[in-house]
Amino acid sequence: MNLYILSAKEKEVMSALWNSTASMTGAEICKNNNLNINTVQAALKKLLKVGYVEVKDIVYSNTVLTRSYVSKVTPDEYASIQLEEYYRSSGKKKSLTNIVSYLLNEEENQAEQIKALKKLLTAREKLLKEGDDEC
């Protein structure tokens, strides 16, 4: 996955695509989000280039053929990209515990997330132990 942090307008375009169940044309993105068509087209061009969106189909928009787009990156994948950038952006050591604690506090179903985290940590711990045994 490419490490690319979205501009504010690109984030609005991606948000429109994430919230849609179908592919969207530039005009549909504009209409649904009060964005200028030139801004949307520029954002889509950049998002295509970095691989965050793809052309799903060629469709009619009134009497003109136009591209319809879908997101190739989910909101969760993008959040992971942002977190990776956060870790890379500074030479200072970041506290994973603080980040997980903050995110857990924001969760609605904390008990379910804690179970999933325990399972993930147990699996990681097992891999670390297997790695130590090989030395």
Q: What is the pLDDT of residues 29-80, one digit of tens each?
A: 998 888 999 999 999 999 999 999 999 999 998 889 999 999 999 999 998 8
pTM over 0.85: no
Pick from 132, 131, 112: nearest CA to 120? 112
For the chain, first and last CA: distance in Å? 32
Question: Is the pLDDT score of 134 beyond 70?
Answer: no
Parallel, antiparallel or unpaired: strands 64-71 and 24-25: antiparallel
The mean of the pLDDT values for the chain is: 88
Arithmetic mean of pLDDT, 94-110 = 80
Please report the pLDDT score of residue 91 as a whole number: 63
Q: Check residues 96 and 118 and name the one with the higher pLDDT.
A: 118
User: What is the per-residue pLDDT for 7?
Assistant: 94
Calpha distance 11→71 (Å, rounded)? 12
| Contact (Cβ atoms closer than 8 angstroms) between residue 55 and residue 49 | no
* Lowest-confidence segment of 67-71, 98-102, 108-112 by average pLDDT: 98-102
Can you give the pLDDT at residue 84? 80
